[in-house]
Amino acid sequence: MIYTVVVLYLNLLIVHVAVTFDYNKPKWPVPYRRFDRRPDVDSFCEAIYPFCPTGDRDGRIPDLRDSDVISVYRLQTPVWEFKYGNLLGKMNIMHDAIGFSSSETGANFTMEWYELFQLGNCTFPHLRPDVYAPFWCNQGAACFFEGIDDLHWSQNGTLEKIGEITGKQFNEMARWVQNDNQTGIYYETWTVRSDPGPNATVWFESYDCSQFVHRTYRKLSQLGAKLSSRTQTNYTKIYLYSGEPAFLGNDSSIFGQPALKSWRRTSADFTTHSDPISPFLTCSSVCWRRSKK
């Protein structure tokens, strides 16, 4: 029963924050919602580990010479590898990124997309005493920084060259990343499907590190790049299974109702924490606050 409640609750919130839902003729999977710009971060949202500490927080990428030849690398390592080593790698729970190396300058770069406020905040919302609707700290963004930590990626994961691109293709990709980063702003942990079978309907797609890598590969292919891997690439997804979702309304029409205000107070009492930033339905402090990815 508890699991069923969580599934329904998350379906509602996923629709609210990250998709464009046409309740007259729903299209499955529901398209991810794009925005005109990235909003300011609410001061309530805090990160134990700062986002993109050595790179450009806005995803800006320096131009390279059009004549340069750039090696492209597939990067994959266990989630939370910096803290737990290969523990989650044994369960095939991986984080994905892309590496680049300039032949003209010898400079190496890493590009990844991840949560601004750690994974737990992108998976479950908070209940705030001054806000009726569940509150999310679930922005995600691209981080581009100089260097490739060879040991971090290769020791328990993958560091593999998958192709080469020109400096011109790299610069065009960089402009695409900037636009993608400003319009696709919310991290989605869950992939929601009708059932585990091969012919299941996907209600909502995840929007995470691996999806960013896939989008970037597709863009590079559109620009004429030839990318290939010698090994099979597996990506991590977390699935929820649900009947067909129904559009119920927006925040004010749902959580502004007197009956749900009462439910909101009951839920807040049930999930009271000494730490005001701890999210609703936590599994442990490590899960929510102690790791970038």
Mapped onto helix, strand or coil, the DSSP state of residue 252 is helix
Give the list of residues 6+ apart from residue 270 with CB closer than 8 angstroms, or none.
Answer: none
Virtual torsion, Cα 154, 55, 94, 50, nearest 10 deg: 130
C-alpha 245/C-alpha 123 separation (Å) is 18
State yes or no: is 52 an active-site residue: no
Other C-beta atoms closer than 10 Å to the C-beta of 196 total: 8
State yes or no: is 209 an active-site residue: yes
Catalytic residue among 52, 122, 143, 209: 209
Catalytic residue among 95, 122, 126, 137: 95
Handedness of CA 199, 204, 210, 214 (dihedral sign): positive
**E strand segments, 134-250:** 140-146, 158-166, 190-193, 202-204, 238-241
Query: Could you give the residue numbers annotated as active site?
Result: 95, 209
